[in-house]
Amino acid sequence: MHKWISFPHKEGICSKQAHADFPDEAIYEREAGRSGFFGPASHFHHRHAPTGWSEWEGDLKPRAFNLNNVDEALQPSPWDVPSLLHNSDCKIRIWKLNASMTHLVRNSDGDELLFIHQGTAELFCDYGHMTVKEGDYVMIPRSTNWRIETQEPLFILMIENTDAAYALPEKGMVGNHAVFDPAVLDVPKIDDQFKAQYSEVATQVHVKRHEKVSIISFPFNPLDAIGWHGDLAVVRVNWRDIRPLMSHRYHLPPSAHTTFVGQGFVICTFVPRPIESDPGALKVPFYHNNDDYDEVLFYHAGDFFSRDNIEAGMVTFHPAGFTHGPHPKAFKAGREHKKKFTDEVAVMIDTRHALQFSEHAQQVENPQYVYSWQETK
């Protein structure tokens, strides 16, 4: 495999290369790109911020949702909580659990990825037992039986890969051990805690298929495996195990932070890192049109350096087909290079097909978010 040498066209006053050494006449760079930062792209230099709109009419707009306020999220089963954003490839839910589950669940529609936003628990599944805690991604293959025993109340971001499997991204020339080494992936164990829950007690399994739930009753606990072997299992990785790709001279696109690849979408993780130090390098996310992907960002922890008035547990949505980027104060701080290090942790879901919003999401929407790029006088 090789990449042919190409010579992109240049017109007017522009920088020598993307995201660095902007001309004095126009400090605002905008990238118009296809295929989620992997396809052809052009970089414009503007006299005004591309997000400097004064009014907005219509539905194709940036949105923000405070998922802390989703009342329907507190349920005894993940199948009882509503989808908030969804398309044919994925479903995004929030699940809050204050007490241990009394039954098993199984998703026969697709793989489930749990991101533990808050809390600690014991997960029991077909493959064994593992402790899960704040900051963990837990990938559960479709048709796996599982349940949770809470140690602390849980707040979980759930991302269903509908009728498909999760995979790791191709890491190209940086190698298989970059970003996170697969050696850090943890799997459940058939340990003493797992063996202690063997029982002849009647147990129900709530199975979801085509968004309908069937209940299967057993006169025993189906989590009774004494062993297994293979390369299909529940796997876990914590965001603290992620070592992000960095360049002191170039602001890397979100695709460099890809953690999981789904069917028609990717999941990226933004973790603390040094901010670019080269004088000519861009210090904040660049203004861009991601013209093929909707972008969803779940804010987990820290100071979200490109956003104003965003708190942990909130979600922002930026649809394909319009320009977005840092808020004015963040852009100004980036120009002045006031911060040397980011301390944010966030989960991004980029979807190839348009996402729809449920009424439950709309109930916790901040309708003023679209105007948050306006500079205060």
Nearest 5°: CA angle at 218, between 212 and 219?
155
* 3-class SS of residue 67: helix
User: CA dist 19 to 95, 183, 249, Å?
Assistant: 38, 34, 9
Instruction: Copy the structure tokens of residue 367.
Output: 């309708």
User: CA dist 210 to 126, 213, 264, 355, Å?
Assistant: 22, 8, 19, 18
Query: Dihedral, CA atoms, 131, 92, 68, 363, nearest 10 degrees?
Result: -160
Residue 177 annotated in ligand binding: no
Residue 337 annotated in ligand binding: no
* 3-class SS of residue 22: coil
* 3-class SS of residue 17: coil
251 is catalytic: yes
H-helix or E-strand containing 31? strand 28-33
State how far the Cα of 125 lies from the Cα of 99, in Å rounded to an integer.
17
Residue 248 annotated in ligand binding: no
Asked whether 288 and 318 are in contact (CB, 8 A), the reply is no
Sheet (strand 287-290) strand order: 41-46, 28-33, 287-290, 323-324
| Beta-carbon count within 10 A of 198 CB | 13
H-helix or E-strand containing 317? strand 314-318
User: CA dist 121 to 118, 137, 155, Å?
Assistant: 10, 13, 11
CA-closest candidate to residue 289, choices 112, 46, 4: 46
- Which residue out of 251, 257, 300, 360 is catalytically annotated? 251
State how far the Cα of 361 lies from the Cα of 351, in Å rounded to an integer.
17
State how far the Cα of 368 lies from the Cα of 62, in Å rounded to an integer.
10
Binding residues for Fe cation: 288, 294, 324
Binding residues: 288, 294, 324
Binding residues for homogentisate: 324
Q: Which residue numbers are catalytic?
A: 251
